[in-house]
Amino acid sequence: MSGLVLALAQVKSAVGDLEGNSSKIREYVQRASDAGADLVLFPELCLTGYPPEDLLLKTEFTRSSMAALAELASGIGDMIAVVGFAESDYDVFNSAAVICKGAVHCVYRKVFLPNYGVFDEMRYFGAGNRNLVLDVSGTRVGITICEDIWFPGGPMEEQVARGGAEIMLNLSASPFNRGKYDYRKKLISSRSMDGPVVLAYCNMVGAQDELVFDGGSCVYHPQMGFIAKAGRFREELLTCEVDLEQLKGNRLLEPRFRYSRAECPHAEVDVCRLEKPAASAGRRKVPVQLCPTDLSLTEEIFEALVSGLSEYVEKNGFKKVVLGLSGGIDSALTAAIAVEALGGDNVVCAFLPSRYTAGESGDAAVELAENLKVRIITMPIGGIFAAYAGELAGELGEKEEGVAFENIQARIRGNLLMALSNQFGWLVLATGNKSELSMGYCTLYGDMAGGFALIKDLLKTQVYEVAEYVNERAGRELIPRFIIDRPPTAELRAEQLDTDSLPPYDELDPVLEAYVEQGLGTQEIISRGFTPELVKRVIRTVDANEYKRRQAPVGVKITPRAFGRDWRMPISTRRR
Protein backbone atom coordinates (compact mmCIF):
# COMPACT_ATOMS: atom_id res chain seq x y z
CA MET A 1 0.00 0.00 0.00
CA SER A 2 1.29 3.47 -0.89
CA GLY A 3 0.15 6.48 1.11
CA LEU A 4 0.11 7.87 4.59
CA VAL A 5 -1.51 7.30 7.94
CA LEU A 6 -3.33 10.47 8.88
CA ALA A 7 -4.52 11.52 12.32
CA LEU A 8 -7.20 14.21 12.57
CA ALA A 9 -7.24 15.86 16.01
CA GLN A 10 -10.85 16.99 16.45
CA VAL A 11 -10.29 19.12 19.56
CA LYS A 12 -11.69 22.02 21.55
CA SER A 13 -9.84 25.32 21.81
CA ALA A 14 -10.41 28.24 24.14
CA VAL A 15 -10.05 31.73 22.69
CA GLY A 16 -6.97 33.44 24.11
CA ASP A 17 -5.75 30.43 26.11
CA LEU A 18 -2.46 29.99 24.26
CA GLU A 19 -0.95 27.91 27.05
CA GLY A 20 -3.93 25.60 27.45
CA ASN A 21 -4.38 25.18 23.71
CA SER A 22 -0.66 24.39 23.30
CA SER A 23 -0.92 21.74 25.97
CA LYS A 24 -3.91 20.18 24.18
CA ILE A 25 -2.00 20.17 20.88
CA ARG A 26 1.03 18.48 22.45
CA GLU A 27 -1.22 15.85 24.01
CA TYR A 28 -2.79 14.98 20.67
CA VAL A 29 0.54 14.98 18.84
CA GLN A 30 1.69 12.32 21.29
CA ARG A 31 -1.53 10.36 20.87
CA ALA A 32 -1.11 10.48 17.10
CA SER A 33 2.46 9.26 17.44
CA ASP A 34 1.34 6.41 19.70
CA ALA A 35 -1.26 5.48 17.08
CA GLY A 36 1.44 5.18 14.41
CA ALA A 37 0.40 8.20 12.35
CA ASP A 38 2.69 9.92 9.87
CA LEU A 39 0.96 13.29 10.13
CA VAL A 40 -1.53 14.89 12.54
CA LEU A 41 -3.90 17.64 11.46
CA PHE A 42 -5.53 20.19 13.79
CA PRO A 43 -8.46 22.60 13.29
CA GLU A 44 -8.29 26.18 12.04
CA LEU A 45 -6.75 28.66 14.52
CA CYS A 46 -6.65 25.95 17.19
CA LEU A 47 -3.66 27.60 18.87
CA THR A 48 -5.50 30.91 19.46
CA GLY A 49 -9.05 29.57 19.62
CA TYR A 50 -11.74 30.54 17.12
CA PRO A 51 -12.90 33.22 16.53
CA PRO A 52 -10.41 35.53 18.31
CA GLU A 53 -12.27 38.59 16.95
CA ASP A 54 -10.76 41.93 18.02
CA LEU A 55 -8.02 40.25 20.02
CA LEU A 56 -6.38 40.06 16.59
CA LEU A 57 -6.23 43.85 16.52
CA LYS A 58 -4.00 43.84 19.59
CA THR A 59 -0.35 43.51 18.57
CA GLU A 60 0.46 41.97 21.95
CA PHE A 61 -1.90 39.08 21.22
CA THR A 62 -0.53 38.31 17.76
CA ARG A 63 3.05 38.51 19.07
CA SER A 64 2.08 36.10 21.84
CA SER A 65 0.59 33.75 19.25
CA MET A 66 3.89 33.67 17.37
CA ALA A 67 5.85 33.09 20.59
CA ALA A 68 3.46 30.28 21.59
CA LEU A 69 3.93 28.65 18.18
CA ALA A 70 7.72 28.75 18.50
CA GLU A 71 7.57 27.23 21.97
CA LEU A 72 5.13 24.57 20.80
CA ALA A 73 7.34 23.64 17.85
CA SER A 74 10.40 23.27 20.02
CA GLY A 75 8.78 20.39 21.88
CA ILE A 76 7.56 18.36 18.89
CA GLY A 77 9.70 15.50 17.60
CA ASP A 78 9.61 13.82 14.20
CA MET A 79 5.80 13.67 14.01
CA ILE A 80 4.52 16.06 11.33
CA ALA A 81 1.88 18.37 12.87
CA VAL A 82 -0.21 20.87 10.89
CA VAL A 83 -1.47 23.49 13.33
CA GLY A 84 -3.75 26.50 12.81
CA PHE A 85 -2.52 29.80 14.29
CA ALA A 86 -2.65 33.59 13.85
CA GLU A 87 0.48 34.63 12.00
CA SER A 88 1.94 38.10 12.48
CA ASP A 89 4.04 39.37 9.58
CA TYR A 90 3.54 42.50 7.48
CA ASP A 91 -0.16 41.75 8.09
CA VAL A 92 -2.04 39.22 10.23
CA PHE A 93 -2.86 35.93 8.52
CA ASN A 94 -5.07 32.95 9.27
CA SER A 95 -2.37 30.35 8.81
CA ALA A 96 -1.35 26.72 9.14
CA ALA A 97 2.11 25.89 10.43
CA VAL A 98 3.82 22.64 9.44
CA ILE A 99 5.87 21.56 12.45
CA CYS A 100 8.39 18.73 12.67
CA LYS A 101 11.64 18.01 14.56
CA GLY A 102 11.46 21.07 16.77
CA ALA A 103 10.86 23.66 14.08
CA VAL A 104 8.25 25.29 11.86
CA HIS A 105 9.26 24.18 8.37
CA CYS A 106 6.69 26.06 6.31
CA VAL A 107 3.44 28.01 6.58
CA TYR A 108 0.26 28.17 4.48
CA ARG A 109 -1.92 31.29 4.58
CA LYS A 110 -5.69 31.11 4.06
CA VAL A 111 -6.72 32.55 0.70
CA PHE A 112 -10.52 32.88 0.79
CA LEU A 113 -11.61 35.00 3.77
CA PRO A 114 -15.35 34.72 4.50
CA ASN A 115 -17.11 37.97 5.26
CA TYR A 116 -20.77 36.99 5.61
CA GLY A 117 -23.07 35.59 8.28
CA VAL A 118 -21.06 35.20 11.50
CA PHE A 119 -17.73 35.75 9.73
CA ASP A 120 -15.67 38.97 9.66
CA GLU A 121 -12.33 37.65 8.46
CA MET A 122 -11.61 40.53 6.09
CA ARG A 123 -11.68 42.77 9.15
CA TYR A 124 -8.78 40.86 10.67
CA PHE A 125 -6.71 39.00 8.10
CA GLY A 126 -4.76 39.51 4.95
CA ALA A 127 -5.32 36.95 2.19
CA GLY A 128 -2.64 34.43 1.30
CA ASN A 129 -1.24 34.49 -2.22
CA ARG A 130 0.86 31.32 -2.47
CA ASN A 131 0.14 27.62 -2.44
CA LEU A 132 1.92 25.00 -0.39
CA VAL A 133 2.39 21.29 -1.05
CA LEU A 134 4.22 18.93 1.30
CA ASP A 135 6.28 16.10 -0.12
CA VAL A 136 6.16 13.54 2.67
CA SER A 137 8.52 10.72 1.68
CA GLY A 138 7.23 10.93 -1.88
CA THR A 139 3.52 11.52 -1.16
CA ARG A 140 2.24 14.95 -2.14
CA VAL A 141 -0.02 16.63 0.45
CA GLY A 142 -1.79 19.97 -0.07
CA ILE A 143 -3.01 22.32 2.66
CA THR A 144 -6.13 24.48 2.70
CA ILE A 145 -8.05 26.28 5.46
CA CYS A 146 -11.85 26.05 5.77
CA GLU A 147 -13.32 28.43 3.14
CA ASP A 148 -10.57 27.53 0.66
CA ILE A 149 -12.52 24.38 -0.28
CA TRP A 150 -16.05 25.81 -0.16
CA PHE A 151 -15.90 26.91 -3.79
CA PRO A 152 -14.58 25.15 -6.92
CA GLY A 153 -11.12 26.16 -8.08
CA GLY A 154 -8.80 28.29 -6.03
CA PRO A 155 -5.88 27.00 -3.96
CA MET A 156 -7.13 23.43 -3.82
CA GLU A 157 -7.25 23.07 -7.59
CA GLU A 158 -3.88 24.76 -7.97
CA GLN A 159 -2.20 22.50 -5.42
CA VAL A 160 -3.60 19.42 -7.15
CA ALA A 161 -2.99 20.54 -10.71
CA ARG A 162 0.38 22.29 -10.36
CA GLY A 163 1.71 20.73 -7.18
CA GLY A 164 0.55 17.16 -7.76
CA ALA A 165 -1.24 16.93 -4.39
CA GLU A 166 -2.72 13.47 -3.81
CA ILE A 167 -4.05 14.22 -0.33
CA MET A 168 -5.63 17.54 0.58
CA LEU A 169 -5.71 18.63 4.22
CA ASN A 170 -8.35 21.11 5.34
CA LEU A 171 -8.18 22.81 8.73
CA SER A 172 -11.66 24.01 9.66
CA ALA A 173 -13.62 25.85 12.34
CA SER A 174 -17.04 25.59 10.73
CA PRO A 175 -19.80 26.67 13.13
CA PHE A 176 -22.85 24.48 13.57
CA ASN A 177 -26.31 25.24 12.35
CA ARG A 178 -29.23 22.90 11.85
CA GLY A 179 -28.71 20.70 8.75
CA LYS A 180 -25.23 22.01 7.92
CA TYR A 181 -23.53 18.66 8.52
CA ASP A 182 -25.25 17.04 5.55
CA TYR A 183 -24.33 20.02 3.39
CA ARG A 184 -20.68 19.69 4.44
CA LYS A 185 -20.59 16.00 3.55
CA LYS A 186 -21.88 16.74 0.04
CA LEU A 187 -19.38 19.56 -0.37
CA ILE A 188 -16.45 17.43 0.78
CA SER A 189 -17.32 14.58 -1.57
CA SER A 190 -17.78 17.03 -4.45
CA ARG A 191 -14.39 18.72 -3.91
CA SER A 192 -12.66 15.38 -3.58
CA MET A 193 -14.13 14.25 -6.90
CA ASP A 194 -13.17 17.57 -8.51
CA GLY A 195 -9.49 16.87 -7.83
CA PRO A 196 -9.53 13.97 -7.89
CA VAL A 197 -7.82 14.03 -4.48
CA VAL A 198 -8.22 12.40 -1.08
CA LEU A 199 -9.69 15.09 1.18
CA ALA A 200 -9.03 15.06 4.95
CA TYR A 201 -11.29 17.53 6.75
CA CYS A 202 -10.58 18.35 10.42
CA ASN A 203 -13.25 20.44 12.14
CA MET A 204 -13.26 21.98 15.61
CA VAL A 205 -15.58 20.97 18.46
CA GLY A 206 -16.75 22.87 21.51
CA ALA A 207 -18.31 26.32 21.68
CA GLN A 208 -17.36 29.98 21.79
CA ASP A 209 -20.02 32.42 23.01
CA GLU A 210 -23.01 31.82 20.69
CA LEU A 211 -21.14 29.60 18.23
CA VAL A 212 -21.01 25.81 18.56
CA PHE A 213 -18.58 23.63 16.59
CA ASP A 214 -19.85 20.13 15.91
CA GLY A 215 -16.81 18.27 14.61
CA GLY A 216 -17.75 15.61 12.06
CA SER A 217 -14.16 15.37 10.80
CA CYS A 218 -13.71 12.89 7.98
CA VAL A 219 -11.56 11.54 5.16
CA TYR A 220 -13.08 11.11 1.69
CA HIS A 221 -11.49 9.04 -1.08
CA PRO A 222 -12.70 9.72 -4.65
CA GLN A 223 -12.88 6.00 -5.44
CA MET A 224 -13.84 4.63 -2.04
CA GLY A 225 -16.10 7.30 -0.54
CA PHE A 226 -15.85 8.16 3.16
CA ILE A 227 -13.08 6.00 4.56
CA ALA A 228 -13.07 7.55 8.05
CA LYS A 229 -15.64 9.62 9.97
CA ALA A 230 -15.44 11.06 13.46
CA GLY A 231 -18.35 11.57 15.81
CA ARG A 232 -19.93 14.93 16.48
CA PHE A 233 -19.88 17.31 19.42
CA ARG A 234 -17.01 15.47 21.10
CA GLU A 235 -13.22 15.47 21.03
CA GLU A 236 -11.69 12.60 19.10
CA LEU A 237 -8.48 11.50 17.40
CA LEU A 238 -9.54 10.07 14.04
CA THR A 239 -6.89 7.90 12.38
CA CYS A 240 -6.98 6.70 8.82
CA GLU A 241 -4.61 4.81 6.52
CA VAL A 242 -4.89 6.26 3.02
CA ASP A 243 -4.29 3.95 0.03
CA LEU A 244 -3.29 6.02 -3.01
CA GLU A 245 -2.84 3.22 -5.57
CA GLN A 246 -6.37 3.57 -6.92
CA LEU A 247 -6.05 7.34 -7.04
CA LYS A 248 -2.77 7.20 -8.98
CA GLY A 249 -4.24 4.79 -11.52
CA ASN A 250 -7.37 6.85 -11.87
CA ARG A 251 -5.41 10.02 -12.57
CA LEU A 252 -3.57 8.36 -15.46
CA LEU A 253 -6.96 7.64 -17.03
CA GLU A 254 -8.60 10.90 -16.00
CA PRO A 255 -8.39 13.71 -18.57
CA ARG A 256 -9.86 16.25 -16.11
CA PHE A 257 -6.61 16.17 -14.14
CA ARG A 258 -4.60 17.24 -17.19
CA TYR A 259 -7.16 19.86 -18.23
CA SER A 260 -7.06 21.46 -14.79
CA ARG A 261 -3.29 21.80 -15.02
CA ALA A 262 -3.67 23.75 -18.25
CA GLU A 263 -6.22 26.09 -16.66
CA CYS A 264 -3.84 27.43 -13.98
CA PRO A 265 -0.40 27.60 -15.64
CA HIS A 266 0.78 30.54 -13.53
CA ALA A 267 -0.14 29.31 -10.05
CA GLU A 268 2.75 29.52 -7.60
CA VAL A 269 3.24 26.33 -5.57
CA ASP A 270 5.90 25.98 -2.89
CA VAL A 271 7.03 22.43 -2.13
CA CYS A 272 8.23 21.51 1.37
CA ARG A 273 10.00 18.14 1.66
CA LEU A 274 9.67 16.14 4.86
CA GLU A 275 10.20 12.55 5.93
CA LYS A 276 7.73 10.27 7.63
CA PRO A 277 8.38 9.67 11.34
CA ALA A 278 10.90 6.87 11.74
CA ALA A 279 8.69 5.12 14.30
CA SER A 280 5.84 4.71 11.80
CA ALA A 281 7.77 2.19 9.69
CA GLY A 282 6.99 -0.80 11.95
CA ARG A 283 3.50 0.17 13.02
CA ARG A 284 0.55 -2.14 13.21
CA LYS A 285 -2.38 -1.81 10.80
CA VAL A 286 -4.60 1.16 11.65
CA PRO A 287 -8.26 0.16 12.17
CA VAL A 288 -10.94 1.89 10.12
CA GLN A 289 -12.96 4.47 12.10
CA LEU A 290 -16.47 5.16 10.85
CA CYS A 291 -19.01 6.93 13.06
CA PRO A 292 -21.92 4.44 12.94
CA THR A 293 -24.91 6.77 12.91
CA ASP A 294 -25.77 10.31 11.93
CA LEU A 295 -27.93 12.53 14.13
CA SER A 296 -31.45 13.66 13.34
CA LEU A 297 -32.07 17.42 13.15
CA THR A 298 -33.64 17.36 16.61
CA GLU A 299 -30.79 15.31 18.09
CA GLU A 300 -28.15 17.67 16.76
CA ILE A 301 -30.05 20.68 18.14
CA PHE A 302 -30.09 19.01 21.55
CA GLU A 303 -26.37 18.28 21.41
CA ALA A 304 -25.60 21.84 20.30
CA LEU A 305 -27.58 23.32 23.19
CA VAL A 306 -25.82 21.08 25.71
CA SER A 307 -22.40 21.88 24.28
CA GLY A 308 -23.06 25.61 24.01
CA LEU A 309 -24.24 25.97 27.60
CA SER A 310 -21.59 23.78 29.22
CA GLU A 311 -18.77 25.58 27.40
CA TYR A 312 -20.13 29.06 28.14
CA VAL A 313 -20.48 28.29 31.84
CA GLU A 314 -17.01 26.73 32.10
CA LYS A 315 -15.16 29.34 30.03
CA ASN A 316 -16.69 32.24 31.95
CA GLY A 317 -15.94 30.88 35.39
CA PHE A 318 -19.44 30.03 36.58
CA LYS A 319 -20.32 26.98 38.68
CA LYS A 320 -24.12 27.12 38.81
CA VAL A 321 -27.03 28.57 36.85
CA VAL A 322 -30.43 29.83 37.97
CA LEU A 323 -33.60 30.27 35.94
CA GLY A 324 -37.22 31.15 36.49
CA LEU A 325 -39.38 28.02 36.29
CA SER A 326 -42.92 29.01 35.33
CA GLY A 327 -44.64 25.72 34.58
CA GLY A 328 -44.39 26.53 30.85
CA ILE A 329 -42.57 24.74 28.05
CA ASP A 330 -39.71 27.23 27.50
CA SER A 331 -38.42 27.25 31.07
CA ALA A 332 -38.99 23.48 31.32
CA LEU A 333 -36.80 22.77 28.30
CA THR A 334 -34.16 25.25 29.48
CA ALA A 335 -34.01 23.50 32.85
CA ALA A 336 -33.77 20.04 31.27
CA ILE A 337 -30.94 21.08 28.95
CA ALA A 338 -29.14 22.80 31.84
CA VAL A 339 -29.25 19.60 33.91
CA GLU A 340 -27.89 17.59 30.98
CA ALA A 341 -25.08 20.09 30.46
CA LEU A 342 -24.14 20.85 34.07
CA GLY A 343 -25.70 18.23 36.34
CA GLY A 344 -28.65 18.70 38.68
CA ASP A 345 -26.51 19.95 41.57
CA ASN A 346 -25.50 22.97 39.49
CA VAL A 347 -28.98 24.08 38.44
CA VAL A 348 -31.31 26.13 40.66
CA CYS A 349 -34.89 26.91 39.66
CA ALA A 350 -36.95 29.77 41.06
CA PHE A 351 -40.76 29.60 40.99
CA LEU A 352 -42.06 33.17 41.19
CA PRO A 353 -45.87 33.06 41.21
CA SER A 354 -48.23 36.01 41.02
CA ARG A 355 -51.99 36.13 41.56
CA TYR A 356 -52.40 35.18 37.91
CA THR A 357 -50.30 32.02 38.19
CA ALA A 358 -52.48 28.94 37.99
CA GLY A 359 -52.17 26.28 40.66
CA GLU A 360 -51.42 23.76 37.90
CA SER A 361 -48.37 25.83 36.93
CA GLY A 362 -46.93 25.47 40.41
CA ASP A 363 -47.66 21.74 40.49
CA ALA A 364 -45.98 21.29 37.11
CA ALA A 365 -42.92 23.31 38.16
CA VAL A 366 -42.50 21.23 41.32
CA GLU A 367 -42.97 17.95 39.42
CA LEU A 368 -40.37 18.98 36.83
CA ALA A 369 -37.89 20.00 39.53
CA GLU A 370 -38.37 16.63 41.24
CA ASN A 371 -37.88 14.79 37.94
CA LEU A 372 -34.69 16.72 37.24
CA LYS A 373 -33.52 16.46 40.86
CA VAL A 374 -32.83 20.20 41.09
CA ARG A 375 -33.38 22.65 43.91
CA ILE A 376 -36.48 24.82 43.54
CA ILE A 377 -36.95 28.11 45.39
CA THR A 378 -40.46 29.57 45.68
CA MET A 379 -40.75 33.35 46.03
CA PRO A 380 -44.26 34.80 45.47
CA ILE A 381 -44.17 38.26 43.91
CA GLY A 382 -47.66 39.43 44.95
CA GLY A 383 -46.48 41.66 47.80
CA ILE A 384 -43.74 43.29 45.71
CA PHE A 385 -46.22 43.87 42.87
CA ALA A 386 -48.69 45.48 45.26
CA ALA A 387 -45.99 47.86 46.45
CA TYR A 388 -45.16 48.83 42.87
CA ALA A 389 -48.83 49.29 41.99
CA GLY A 390 -49.40 51.44 45.07
CA GLU A 391 -46.48 53.73 44.27
CA LEU A 392 -47.58 54.07 40.64
CA ALA A 393 -51.30 54.46 41.26
CA GLY A 394 -51.15 58.23 41.03
CA GLU A 395 -49.73 58.07 37.51
CA LEU A 396 -50.99 54.76 36.13
CA GLY A 397 -54.33 54.51 37.91
CA GLU A 398 -55.61 51.99 40.42
CA LYS A 399 -57.02 49.32 38.06
CA GLU A 400 -53.66 47.53 37.77
CA GLU A 401 -54.47 46.61 34.17
CA GLY A 402 -52.58 46.90 30.89
CA VAL A 403 -49.16 46.21 29.48
CA ALA A 404 -47.36 48.38 32.04
CA PHE A 405 -48.61 46.26 34.93
CA GLU A 406 -47.93 43.04 33.05
CA ASN A 407 -44.35 44.12 32.43
CA ILE A 408 -43.87 45.12 36.05
CA GLN A 409 -44.45 41.47 37.01
CA ALA A 410 -41.83 40.29 34.49
CA ARG A 411 -39.34 42.89 35.75
CA ILE A 412 -39.89 41.93 39.37
CA ARG A 413 -39.03 38.36 38.42
CA GLY A 414 -35.95 39.53 36.54
CA ASN A 415 -34.82 41.56 39.56
CA LEU A 416 -35.22 38.61 41.91
CA LEU A 417 -33.23 36.31 39.62
CA MET A 418 -30.48 38.90 39.29
CA ALA A 419 -30.40 39.31 43.07
CA LEU A 420 -29.77 35.58 43.42
CA SER A 421 -27.07 35.87 40.77
CA ASN A 422 -25.37 38.77 42.55
CA GLN A 423 -25.51 37.09 45.93
CA PHE A 424 -24.36 33.60 44.96
CA GLY A 425 -22.53 34.10 41.64
CA TRP A 426 -25.01 32.04 39.65
CA LEU A 427 -25.46 32.67 35.92
CA VAL A 428 -29.05 33.65 35.08
CA LEU A 429 -30.49 31.77 32.11
CA ALA A 430 -33.11 33.66 30.12
CA THR A 431 -35.77 31.30 28.80
CA GLY A 432 -37.28 33.12 25.80
CA ASN A 433 -37.51 31.57 22.33
CA LYS A 434 -36.97 32.93 18.82
CA SER A 435 -40.67 33.31 18.02
CA GLU A 436 -41.16 35.60 21.01
CA LEU A 437 -37.94 37.51 20.39
CA SER A 438 -38.87 38.02 16.74
CA MET A 439 -42.26 39.47 17.61
CA GLY A 440 -41.16 41.48 20.65
CA TYR A 441 -43.37 39.30 22.87
CA CYS A 442 -40.91 39.70 25.71
CA THR A 443 -40.07 42.28 28.36
CA LEU A 444 -36.86 44.28 28.47
CA TYR A 445 -35.22 43.89 31.92
CA GLY A 446 -37.83 41.24 32.70
CA ASP A 447 -37.94 37.83 31.06
CA MET A 448 -35.10 39.06 28.79
CA ALA A 449 -32.83 39.55 31.81
CA GLY A 450 -29.94 37.13 32.11
CA GLY A 451 -26.43 36.27 31.10
CA PHE A 452 -27.21 33.56 28.57
CA ALA A 453 -30.37 32.90 26.55
CA LEU A 454 -30.09 29.18 25.87
CA ILE A 455 -33.04 28.65 23.50
CA LYS A 456 -33.18 32.11 21.90
CA ASP A 457 -32.61 30.64 18.41
CA LEU A 458 -35.34 27.99 18.63
CA LEU A 459 -38.74 28.80 17.18
CA LYS A 460 -41.60 27.82 19.49
CA THR A 461 -42.50 24.79 17.39
CA GLN A 462 -38.88 23.62 17.64
CA VAL A 463 -39.02 24.02 21.42
CA TYR A 464 -41.81 21.46 21.48
CA GLU A 465 -39.87 19.12 19.17
CA VAL A 466 -36.79 19.18 21.38
CA ALA A 467 -38.91 18.75 24.51
CA GLU A 468 -40.47 15.61 23.05
CA TYR A 469 -36.97 14.33 22.24
CA VAL A 470 -35.83 15.00 25.82
CA ASN A 471 -38.62 12.73 27.07
CA GLU A 472 -37.97 10.11 24.39
CA ARG A 473 -34.28 10.10 25.26
CA ALA A 474 -35.04 9.75 28.97
CA GLY A 475 -37.54 6.95 28.35
CA ARG A 476 -40.10 8.72 30.54
CA GLU A 477 -41.92 12.01 30.92
CA LEU A 478 -39.02 13.99 32.32
CA ILE A 479 -40.90 17.10 31.20
CA PRO A 480 -44.46 16.50 32.45
CA ARG A 481 -47.04 15.97 29.72
CA PHE A 482 -49.16 18.77 31.18
CA ILE A 483 -46.41 21.28 30.37
CA ILE A 484 -46.16 20.10 26.76
CA ASP A 485 -49.91 19.91 26.15
CA ARG A 486 -51.10 23.11 27.85
CA PRO A 487 -51.78 26.17 25.64
CA PRO A 488 -48.85 28.63 25.90
CA THR A 489 -49.47 31.51 28.32
CA ALA A 490 -47.41 34.21 29.99
CA GLU A 491 -49.86 34.33 32.95
CA LEU A 492 -49.49 38.08 33.38
CA ARG A 493 -53.24 38.70 33.42
CA ALA A 494 -56.35 36.63 33.95
CA GLU A 495 -56.94 33.83 31.40
CA GLN A 496 -54.15 35.10 29.18
CA LEU A 497 -52.97 33.03 26.18
CA ASP A 498 -50.12 33.72 23.74
CA THR A 499 -52.67 33.69 20.91
CA ASP A 500 -54.24 36.83 22.38
CA SER A 501 -51.19 38.72 21.09
CA LEU A 502 -49.63 36.43 18.47
CA PRO A 503 -50.82 34.27 15.59
CA PRO A 504 -50.85 30.54 16.42
CA TYR A 505 -47.26 29.31 16.43
CA ASP A 506 -47.85 26.74 13.68
CA GLU A 507 -48.84 29.68 11.43
CA LEU A 508 -46.32 32.19 12.76
CA ASP A 509 -43.14 30.10 12.73
CA PRO A 510 -43.08 29.26 8.99
CA VAL A 511 -43.41 32.97 8.18
CA LEU A 512 -40.63 33.84 10.63
CA GLU A 513 -38.42 31.15 9.15
CA ALA A 514 -39.00 32.51 5.64
CA TYR A 515 -38.41 36.14 6.62
CA VAL A 516 -35.64 35.88 9.22
CA GLU A 517 -33.71 32.76 8.22
CA GLN A 518 -34.26 32.66 4.45
CA GLY A 519 -34.35 36.42 3.83
CA LEU A 520 -37.53 36.37 1.74
CA GLY A 521 -39.64 39.47 1.14
CA THR A 522 -43.35 40.08 1.60
CA GLN A 523 -44.53 38.97 -1.83
CA GLU A 524 -42.24 35.94 -1.92
CA ILE A 525 -43.68 34.71 1.38
CA ILE A 526 -47.26 35.41 0.31
CA SER A 527 -46.63 33.37 -2.85
CA ARG A 528 -46.00 30.35 -0.63
CA GLY A 529 -49.66 30.39 0.35
CA PHE A 530 -49.69 32.61 3.44
CA THR A 531 -52.32 35.33 3.75
CA PRO A 532 -51.17 38.89 3.03
CA GLU A 533 -52.54 40.04 6.39
CA LEU A 534 -50.47 37.50 8.32
CA VAL A 535 -47.27 38.14 6.39
CA LYS A 536 -47.47 41.93 6.60
CA ARG A 537 -48.30 41.79 10.31
CA VAL A 538 -45.38 39.52 11.07
CA ILE A 539 -42.82 41.50 9.06
CA ARG A 540 -44.00 44.81 10.48
CA THR A 541 -43.76 43.48 14.03
CA VAL A 542 -40.34 41.87 13.54
CA ASP A 543 -38.90 45.09 12.13
CA ALA A 544 -40.38 47.23 14.92
CA ASN A 545 -38.74 45.19 17.69
CA GLU A 546 -35.10 45.38 16.66
CA TYR A 547 -34.35 47.65 19.63
CA LYS A 548 -35.29 44.84 22.02
CA ARG A 549 -33.17 42.24 20.28
CA ARG A 550 -30.08 44.48 20.46
CA GLN A 551 -30.36 44.26 24.26
CA ALA A 552 -30.90 40.53 24.49
CA PRO A 553 -28.24 38.23 25.98
CA VAL A 554 -26.25 35.91 23.76
CA GLY A 555 -27.42 32.36 23.19
CA VAL A 556 -26.64 29.27 21.13
CA LYS A 557 -26.80 29.67 17.35
CA ILE A 558 -28.97 26.86 15.97
CA THR A 559 -30.40 28.14 12.68
CA PRO A 560 -28.69 29.37 9.50
CA ARG A 561 -29.49 32.94 10.55
CA ALA A 562 -29.66 33.74 14.24
CA PHE A 563 -30.30 37.09 15.90
CA GLY A 564 -26.95 38.56 16.90
CA ARG A 565 -23.84 38.07 14.75
CA ASP A 566 -25.92 36.94 11.76
CA TRP A 567 -28.55 39.68 11.93
CA ARG A 568 -27.45 43.31 11.64
CA MET A 569 -30.56 45.34 10.99
CA PRO A 570 -30.76 49.06 11.75
CA ILE A 571 -32.90 50.04 14.73
CA SER A 572 -33.82 53.44 13.30
CA THR A 573 -35.33 53.05 9.83
CA ARG A 574 -38.35 54.35 7.96
CA ARG A 575 -38.76 51.04 6.18
CA ARG A 576 -41.99 49.69 7.62
CB 554 within 8 A of CB 454: no
- Based on the residue annotation, tell me whether 436 is a catalytic residue of this protein: no
How far apart are alpha carbons 556 and 467 in whole angstroms? 17
Closest-CA residue to 319 (of 341, 350, 303):
341
Q: 5-277: what CATH class?
A: alpha beta
Closest-CA residue to 35 (of 280, 281, 290, 230):
280
Pick the CATH number of 297-496 from 3.40.718.10, 3.40.50.360, 3.40.1000.10, 3.40.50.620: 3.40.50.620
pLDDT in tens, 278-323: 766 555 566 666 665 689 999 999 999 999 999 999 999 999 999 9
What pLDDT score does 255 carry? 60
- Based on the residue annotation, tell me whether 146 is a catalytic residue of this protein: yes
What single-letter DSSP state applies at residue 133? E
User: What is the identity of the amino acid at 537?
Assistant: R
If pLDDT is split at 50, 70 and 90, which confidence band does 1 have?
very low
Lowest-confidence range among 44-53, 252-261, 291-300, 375-384?
252-261
Closest-CA residue to 221 (of 290, 160, 168, 157):
168
Q: Is the pLDDT of residue 352 over 50?
A: yes
Lowest-confidence range among 31-45, 144-158, 413-427?
144-158
How far apart are alpha carbons 478 and 369 in whole angstroms? 9
User: What is the identity of the amino acid at 544?
Assistant: A
What pLDDT score does 282 carry? 57
Q: Which one of the listed residues 12, 44, 442, 460 is annotated catalytic? A: 44
* Other CB atoms within 10 Å distance of the CB of residue 275: 14
Burial (0-12, 13-18, 19+ Cβ within 10 Å), 395? exposed
565-573 average pLDDT score: 87
What pLDDT score does 214 carry? 95
* Other CB atoms within 10 Å distance of the CB of residue 178: 18
Fold match between 5-277 and 297-496? no
pLDDT in tens, 118-154: 898 989 999 999 999 999 998 999 999 999 998 888 8
Q: Which one of the listed residues 46, 106, 146, 202 is annotated catalytic? A: 146
pLDDT in tens, 507-530: 999 999 999 999 999 999 999 999
Domain boundaries, the chain: 5-277, 297-496
Burial (0-12, 13-18, 19+ Cβ within 10 Å), 85? buried
- Based on the residue annotation, tell me whether 44 is a catalytic residue of this protein: yes
Give pTM, 2 decimals.
0.92
Q: Which one of the listed residues 12, 24, 110, 460 is annotated catalytic? A: 110
Bridge-based pairing state of the strands 131-136 and 269-274:
parallel
How far apart are alpha carbons 42 and 83 in whole angstroms? 5
User: What is the identity of the amino acid at 571?
Assistant: I
Lowest-confidence range among 126-140, 170-184, 248-262?
248-262
How far apart are alpha carbons 88 and 95 in whole angstroms? 10
